[in-house]
Structure 1
Amino acid sequence: MKAFAFAMLLLGGSVSAREDRVQIHGTEAGAQAISQPGKGVTAAHYSFNDRGRGDVVDARWQLDAQGLPTRYEAGGNDYWKVPFTESFERDAAGKARWKNRIEVGETTAAGFYLPANPPPEFMGVLARALLKAPGHRLALLPAGEASLEGGETSVAAAGRRLTLHRIAGIEFTPVPVWLDEQGETAAVVDDWFEVLPAPLLPALAQLQREQQTADQAWHAALARSQAHRPQGALLIRGARLFDPVDLGVREGVSVLMRGERIVRVEPDAELDVPPDAEIIEAKGRLLLPGLWDVHQHFSGVDGVFDLIAGVTSARDMANDNLPMLARVQRFDSGAELGPRVTLAGIIEGIGPLAGPTDVRVDTADKARAAVDWYADHGYAQVKIYSSFSPALVAAVADRAHERGLRVSGHVPAFTFARAFVEAGADEIQHLNFILLNFFADEVKDTRSRDRYTVLADKLAQFDLGDGRFAEFVEFLRRHHTVLDPTMVVLEGLYSGEPARAAPALRPVVARFPAVVRRRQLSGAVAVPPGKEVAYAQALPGLLRMLKMLHDGGVTLMPGSDGFAGYSLHRELELYAQAGIPNAEVLRMATLTSARVLGVEKDRGSIVPGKLADMVLVDGDPLRQMSDIRRVWRTVKGGLVFDPAALERAMGMGAR
């Protein structure tokens, strides 16, 4: 793009009008510089580094009197370092043309062009245009519509008056952006990511509180409209009941619930229907215990998509601790839609590649204190992260076990899986660390994206028939080590395409709202030249490894670490694709997870006395695992959810 190259040359002589800090969970990760290199021209340079990953965007644009883009040019790379260029222009005759890595188009229709890879500043550009627009609504190009929600909130900070605007139509929930009294962008903040100038950093907590208040009101309204509570008993009649204990299916079964508990499970003909019972006719649909997703990081509407997918129990594997504790309380009280959550608290080391958490320790005493904090606050597990010192793993494991907590994590840098287990780890996240166990002398530093990018090469070099692998599988079985493989993440990295939705979302992404659909680009790693064969063979090799681990008696728990709900479905499909029998896969996603996480008394199977958590599937995943996507009703604690209605509430199209 010659015009883009010329634009970037102009940036060299521009005067910076503002520089923002980019933070990930409070830790500085990059910057966004806004400048005016020419009359009516705005330019942005935006970049951040998240453990070797991160966007780099150089963009410039011009606007008309209504604040609509007339020209936009950008280039750089996405989070996974895939290069991109993008251009948009509206000519004097009113025809708009655009080109980016996912689309080429043109139109004479009016509208606000929303770039495919914009810098954060562009949310401010859109907010200002919406403030000028009739009814605060604008058609978006290439598709969709944006609007401003009412209920503006203002705060005073650093001598400025900042106003919160919430833009609907960009994501499933309104996107917040703060403008000052001059209409300039002051801050763009979400659950994990903050972009704002240094003078406003002291006000960040206040901005976050105001956003959280608005978000919680939105979630509460959604919960009131979507959760159905029967007035009396609830009866599911005429179901095919899957038993994860014996892997059998019973035909013509009725399940009676009252309040949040299961009261009776009997053949249809033998169960007396209480006069106050609300009846759901299953009509032969498969009734399963509520599903588990044991690897999530809750934010936004993840809880809603869990319920859409039949996930009634989940494990959060690291989050902003105090807000997450508050979110769990809202899930439990019904003020926000979501599953029951088991909490795993992250413990990280010190250093430039440390993960996004404020629980960073460098001594055994600090590590034990972190474990105690998690135990005192109801966490069931601690998760050790990649920059944690291998020398401190045993101290964490001993204190965690003393307090009744499990220990899991990434295998820290400069050690390997066997040593991690020998030091006391009960569980390992991500299957790639199992392979890297055999390359400990070659791949020592696993803090960066290298822990993913080297995997294809190493897998091509390793013979799974090597006796060392069988011996290691037996070592894991003997130590009762559990694996949370996150196959769906690895598939997205090695079998995805940078300009397409992730494989897990392809069956549903066409029904997403137009703007959301466009933004769901794959998180695929760019295939290095000459590595095409190795990358193509990576997923099949990982699936073979998964099957061998299962056959060797190693306990597997399905977790997604991705887009909530639908990614868990894909995780189960991949287990079945690996050759694990479907019934055993469903047991992993129900009873096995409940057993490992110590809640089998209340969850994991449909029997009297347990919590009324279950899912009705309009299909037969025992025969075809993809049918797990056909969730017809989700029941959590006796509350009934219609997944199709929840999808409509998220702006999705009909199934």
Structure 2
Amino acid sequence: MSGRQRRASWLTVWLGAWLSAGLLVLATGASAREDRVQIHGNPAGTQTLTQPEPGLTVVDYRYNDRGRGDVVQARWRLDAQGLPVWYEAEGNDYWKVAFRERFERVPADPGGLARWANRIETGETRAAGFYLPANPPPEFMGVLARALLKAPGRRLPLLPSGAAWIEGDERLGTLRRVSLRGIEFTPVPVWLHDNGDTAAVVDDWFEVLDDAAAPQLPRLQAAQQAAAQAWHAELARRHTRQPAGALLIRGARLFDPVSLTVQAGRSVLIRGERIVRVGADADVTAPPGAEVIAAAGRFLMPGLWDVHQHFSNVDGVFDLIAGVTSARDMANDNEPLLARVKRFDAGTELGPRVTLAGIIEGVGPLAGPTDVKVSTAEQARAAVDWYADRGYAQVKIYSSFSPALVEAVADRAHERGLRVSGHVPAFTYARAFIEAGADEIQHLNFILLNFFPEVQDTRTRDRYTVLADRLSRFDLREPRFAEFVAFLRERHTVLDPTMVVLEGLFSGEPARAAPALRPVVQRFPAVVRRRLLSGAVAVPPGQEAAYAQALPGLLRMLKALHDGGVTIMPGSDGFAGYSLHRELELYAQAGIANAEVLRLATLTPARVLGVEKDRGSITAGKLADLVLIDGDPLASMSDIRRVWRTVKGGRVYDPAALEQALGLSSP
């Protein structure tokens, strides 16, 4: 898993951009309360709430995620309806960027003037509503839930913009699950005790609970999963078009990733989930009863691949919106992931075909949030066997893994037919990792760090933040770089560079949306849009010039690796779908020809991951995984964002309709 927050998890994303999404409430009359914060079941921090005087709540919230993590101190007062009348906070976000925030209903103003200022906005209004801070502590979602329960119709306008409402209210024993809408693309569950205090807010990876709720965590997760699956099944039912007979796409400009050519006036005939004929329009006859899609000259290409995802929530939906029909999950909560992939395949949840890569981590205070932690060769081999027995295609070694155990993992993985990839573990470097048996490396920064062995502990955010300084001192014309490129080529080492992550780190701004989302973020629901306007690393003082040159330098390195014959596969490790589009735009910006970029995003992963027989090109006999683009990505790679239809296994999806279902406005 990357160092960035996983967009696959709504709660984990909030921890980076909102300092989480609010949770636990102080019991009435209590002077202090401490609640636990967990990442995938592992203790990560606390939230302490006090009431030094009636009506005043003070919160200290902090957690640690491998050297990153939020710290926030907040104070507020509420009115009789539970609406904030005064709020102050300061601290730092996930990437340790400092912030201050203030909101106040001006007491002397008869019209109820409200003013606020935070790092992304300053404003004022006389409108009524619930002020949702830009960087709240977890407690604040509990505050919102209780205000909504008091509100007429259980609905409130939000300040600065948007609205929130209660969509569901159910009981599980002594606990009550209130489902909030208007906060995320999907319902957000908040668990309450009988007295109204918040018991827990959890998702696949992140949990905040009080002591009373902790023993019930498995039941809470099971109930949430059942509700989420029902929501996804209904979305899939409404937005999947399964032709009753054959499906014919006619009049397309067909891109061939093998020859890198485009042919106009082409038709593709599909029966069931496979392509049965590809040819000129005049040579392909529509069978009786066939459904015909008139492409009208649109660009038709194989479905896209994203080889670096961490699936959760609506990631699968955004993949289909973006034309991603194949993906690779690079670390997850294993049992829920296996169940989710089965739903993708069955069509009861919208998502791509998924290749599974199972994470194996070492032990220690900076170990990643996974249950699969090993400290011996025997344990490492057992972990490989567990993944192999469940159909995983590869294993991913993570940052705290012992370099001394890489060879044992690689040998067992190769014995079982699995590939080996990962972060280069701390206290070693890329060449040694490959020599020990790794087939692939995630993240381009580890290639650069190969030349700076003094940067040894790469378990923290230093593996990213030291990059700008080192890159400014590295010359790609050095013979040792050319020699290393030749080494990678000769070893058939594959690189999953995740350029979009690195762009966000070095070219992002803490008070703006990530570059990958800027073309679309204004179309997001108001609350979602607002929380995404935060989450980049701040430029250290004195490093402005180095940071400005970091992304251009990394793009030059990417181009040199590609020109040197190193196999590259595009993965986003970010917000699903749209981030993959940006990844491809960056490859084109680096100087890789657009046709080559499209090959990297279609045929190359199919070949590397051993599924070329079924995927990677539009060929008779292969799976009908296709994308119709209302533009020409060979002329402008940004046209890859203009997906008109996605076809996965013969099932047809309308991206515009899916965006609307998730609350996005029209472009």
Tell me which interval the TM-score lies in, with the shorter structure as reference length: over 0.9
Which of 130, 151, 159 does residue 112 from structure 1 map onto?
130
For residues 365 and 184 of structure 2, what CA distance do their matches in structure 1 show? 31
| Greater relative contact order (CA < 8 Å, ≥ 6 in sequence) | 2
> Who is 1:215 aligned against?
228
**1:325 and 2:338 are equivalent in the alignment:** yes
Quote how far apart the aligned CAs of 1:486 are: 0.1
Aligned residues: 637
Q: Which amino acid aligns with 1:173?
A: T
Q: Distance in 1 between matches of 2:258 and 2:566?
A: 18
* Secondary structure of residue in 1 paired with 2:545: helix
User: Does the aligned pair in 2 maintain the 1:460–1:537 contact within 8 Å?
Assistant: yes
Does 2:648 correspond to 1:636?
yes
Q: How far apart, in 2, do the equivalents of 1:278 and 1:172 lie?
A: 32
Matches within 5 A, 1:24-35: 24-35=39-50
C-alpha separation between the residues in 1 aligned to 2:342 and 2:249?
Answer: 28
Q: Residue 537 of structure 1 corresponds to which residue in structure 2?
A: 549
Contact 2:395 2:418 in 1 (8 A): yes
Equivalent in the alignment of 1:297: 310
2:75, 2:144 → 1: CA distance? Answer: 15
After the TM superposition, list the runs of 4 or more consecutive aligned residues in structure 1 that deviate by more than 4 angstroms.
none
Asked if 1:181 is matched to 2:198, the reply is no
Q: Report what 2:156 is aligned to.
A: 138
Which residue does 2:89 correspond to in 1? 74
Answer whether contact 1:350 1:360 (CA < 8 A) is retained. yes
How far apart, in 1, do the equivalents of 2:371 and 2:33 lie?
A: 28
Query: What is the root-mean-square deviation of aligned Cα atoms in Å?
Result: 1.1
Deviations 1:513-549 (A, max 9, x none): 1110001034321111100000000000000000000
**What's the CA shift for 1:38?**
1.5
1:3 equivalent in structure 2:
none
User: Which residue of 232, 250, 253 corresponds with 2:266?
Assistant: 253
Contact 2:199-2:212 within 8 A present in 1 as well: no
1:264/1:608 contact within 8 Å kept: yes
User: What is the Cα deviation at residue 201 of structure 1?
Assistant: 2.0
Query: Is residue 2:103 matched to residue 1:88?
Result: yes
1:623 equivalent in structure 2: 635
Of residues 38, 51, 58 in structure 1, which corresponds to 2:66? 51
**How many angstroms apart in 1 are the aligned matches of 2:83 and 2:204?**
28
The one-letter amino acid of 1:376's match is D
- 2:171 aligns with 154
Deviations along 1:280-300, whole A, 9 cap, x unmatched? 100000001000000000111
What is the 5 A alignment of 1:510-589? 510-589=522-601
Instruction: Tell me the TM-score normalised to structure 2 length.
Output: 0.95
Tell me the distance in 2 between the aligned counterparts of 1:398 and 1:59: 51
The AA in structure 2 aligned to 1:307 is L
Asked whether the 8 Å contact 1:492–1:522 carries over to 2, the reply is: no
Shift of residue 16, structure 1, vs aligned partner: 4.7
Of 289, 292, 310, the residue aligned with 1:279 is 292
Equivalent residues in 2 for 1:169-248 (5 A)?
Answer: 169-248=182-261
Cα distance in 1 for partners of 2:138, 2:243 equals 44
The question of whether the paired residues in 2 share the 8 Å contact of 1:18 and 1:197 is answered with no
Provide the secondary structure at the position in 2 that maps to 1:526: coil
Conservation of the 8 A alpha-carbon contact between 1:219 and 1:336: yes
Counterpart for residue 80 of structure 2: 65
* Matched letter for residue 233 of structure 1: A
Between the aligned partners of 1:546 and 1:170, the Cα distance in structure 2 is 38
Deviation by residue 1:555-597 (Cα, 9 ceiling, x = unmatched): 0000000000000000000000000000000000000011101
CA contact (8 A) 1:496 1:522 kept: no
* CA deviations over 1:402-460 (Å, ceiling 9, x no partner): 000000000000000000000000000000000000011x1000000000110000001
Contact 1:244-1:587 within 8 A present in 2 as well: yes
1:470 aligns with 2:487: no
Task: Determine the structure 2 residue equivalent to 1:432.
Answer: 445
Deviates more, 1:33-42 or 1:443-452: 33-42
Match for 1:38: what amino acid? Answer: E
The separation in 1 between residues aligned to 2:262 and 2:164, in whole angstroms, is 48
| Map 1:357-436 → 2, pairs under 5 A | 357-436=370-449
Q: Which residue of 2 aligns with 1:11?
A: none
Query: Could you tell me whether the CA contact under 8 Å between 1:388 and 1:412 is conserved in 2?
Result: yes
Using the TM superposition, give the Cα deviation of residue 155 of structure 1 relative to its aligned residue in structure 2, in angstroms. Answer: 2.6
Q: Which runs of 5+ in 2 are unaligned?
A: 1-28
Structure 2 SS opposite 1:198: coil
Alignment-mate amino acid for residue 498 of structure 1 = P
Which residues of structure 1 form unaligned runs of 5+? 1-13
Provide, for residues 609-649 of structure 1, a one-character-per-residue CA deviation record: whole Å limited to 9, x for no partner: 10000000000001110000000000001110000101101
Offset at residue 276 of structure 1 (A) = 1.2
The alpha carbon displacement at 1:198 in A equals 3.2
**Aligned to 1:446, what secondary structure does the other structure show?**
coil
CA–CA distance in structure 2, aligned partners of residues 455 and 199 of structure 1? 45
- Deviation readout 1:73-129 (Å, 9 max, x if unpaired): 111011100000111111232111111000111111110001111111111111101
Q: Deviations over 1:344-399 (max 9, x none)?
A: 00000000000010100000000000000000011001000000000000000000
Aligned-residue offset at 1:197: 1.9
Residue 239 of structure 1 contacts residue 282 of structure 1 at CA under 8 Å; is this kept in 2?
Answer: yes
Alpha-carbon distance, 1:15 to partner: 7.2
Contact 1:15-1:37 within 8 A present in 2 as well: no
Distance 1:154 1:605 in 2: 50
TM-score (norm 1): 0.96
Counterpart CA distance in 1 for 2:200 and 2:106 is 32
Secondary structure class of the residue paired with 1:127? helix
Alpha-carbon distance between aligned partners in 2 of 1:514 and 1:326, rounded to the nearest angstrom: 32
Distance 2:535 2:439 in 1: 29
Superposition pairs for residues 469-508 of structure 1, below 5 Å?
A: 469-508=481-520
| 1:126 equivalent among 117, 121, 144 | 144
The letter of the residue matching 1:26 is: G
Amino acid at match of 2:58: A
| CA distance in 2: counterparts of 1:549 and 1:523, whole angstroms | 29
Task: Tell me, yes or no, if the aligned pair for 1:430 and 1:486 is still in contact at 8 Å.
Answer: yes
The separation in 2 between residues aligned to 1:37 and 1:112, in whole angstroms, is: 23
**Deviations 1:315-344 (CA, angstroms, capped at 9, x unpaired):** 000000000000000101111100000000
SS in structure 1 opposite 2:456? Answer: coil
Match of 2:278 among 249, 265, 281: 265
State whether residues 120 and 188 of structure 1, in contact with CA within 8 Å, keep that contact through their aligned partners in structure 2.
no
Q: Which SS does the other structure have where 1:336 is aligned?
A: coil
Offset from partner CA, 1:179-233 (integer Å, 9 cap, x none): 1001011111122110112343221111111111111111111111111111111
Answer yes or no: is 1:38 the counterpart of 2:56: no
> Residues 74 and 87 of structure 2 are in contact (CA less than 8 Å); yes or no, is this contact kept in structure 1?
yes
State which drifts further: 87-96 or 267-276.
87-96
Distance 1:30 1:134 in 2: 36
Partners of 1:293 and 1:313 within 8 A in 2: yes
Given residue 495 of structure 1, which amino acid in structure 2 is its aligned partner?
A: S
Match of 1:102 among 117, 120, 128: 120
